Amino acid sequence: MAKQLDETLTMLKELTDAKGIPGNEREVREVMKKYIAPYADEITSDSLGSLIAKKVGKEGGPKIMVAGHLDEVGFMVTQIDDKGFLRFQTVGGWWGQVMLAQRVTIVTRKGDVTGIIGSKPPHVLSAEARKKPIEIKDMFIDIGASSREEAQEWGVRPGDMVVPYFEFTVMNNEKMLLAKAWDNRIGCAIAIDVLKQLKDADHPNEVYGVGAVQEEVGLRGAKTATYKIQPDIGFAVDVGIAGDTPGITEKEAMSKMGKGPQVVVYDASMVAHKGLRDFVTDVADELNIPYQFESIPGGGTDAGSIHLTHNGVPALAITIATRYIHSHAAMLHRDDYENAVKLIVEVIKRLDRETVDKITFE
């Protein structure tokens, strides 16, 4: 029997079920807007489509930006062949071995069309070819059409987004949540809940909960949103690597699910701001909020764009250890999500002008 979803799980389900690859985030933005609007004083967006929800604690106080990104990795239709099969482009980073035989949804102007990613069957490959993974360029999407004309009648056109299909699932261990697009709907959920926790709280600043667009193709929306906000401090909230599955050594990835949010000290897009990193971890230590240090030399977050805007913005990425990111389904731990919200809220309450200046200029 399906488990009853509480208020938070219902929000997480709606966020992850929503379809939105880079450049196609409207559906996700509407879900985030619905949930964050009750806690915001005003909601605007930049011209690329990033959502910006503002909550004022003290007028003229430091501007604090908490940014998740709306987009998920997916695909885009590039061609329809004469037999009705679709050629496609990956949008965001994919590893070919997680793609074959997976169900997808093509979002067209006439409605959604179901497809499956296919390739030549192994039965007709040479023994040598069978030993090698199928390259993405040799894959196609089968929507059950018999011709190009039939696919076009169903509304399929080049440029249409293609999204992994997966149902939000609460595991037997109810803290473990399985869904598509945790990267990065969990960041959007954190931004929503930070504003929710601050709704009636006394805090000395102006907080901006952001759903940025186009992170997966180069941290793009965070750049334009940061220009619009001009924050004093920036937090990117995203997923990180969980190093607790078989075969991963601690040297490769140390973090474990359920052991607290990750404070990213280094990634390919940014060296963490030392003053902000120390301030955040000091608050966590004071309040006994668990956290883990993480470095991700092969990835980046929106903090990479945030910290390079205007004169520079002290920034930090706070992430959730997540298994199987950039695939059809990923898994995370509810405690890490809730502790990330708690940590960011407590940090924001302490970020008055004097503290922000000390962090920035020490």
User: What 8-state DSSP symbol labels residue 103?
Assistant: E
* CA 124 to chain centroid: 39
- Answer whether the bond into residue 184 is a cis peptide, omega within 30°: yes
Contacts with 346 (C-beta within 8 Å, 6 or more apart), sequence order: 283, 287, 289
Query: CA torsion angle for 162, 168, 172, 174 (degrees, to 10)?
Result: 130
SS3 content of the chain, % helix, strand, coil (to 5): 30, 25, 40
Is residue 19 within 8 Å of 29, Cβ to Cβ?
no
Annotated active-site residue in 206, 215, 216, 294: 215
Q: What are phi and psi of 138, to 5 degrees?
A: -95, 5
Catalytic residue list contains 215: yes
C-beta separation of 143 from 105 below 8 A = no
Measured in whole angstroms, the distance separating CA 55 from the mean position of its chain's CA atoms is 22
CA dist list (Å): 154 to 124, 149, 157: 31, 9, 9
Give the catalytic positions in this structure.
Answer: 215
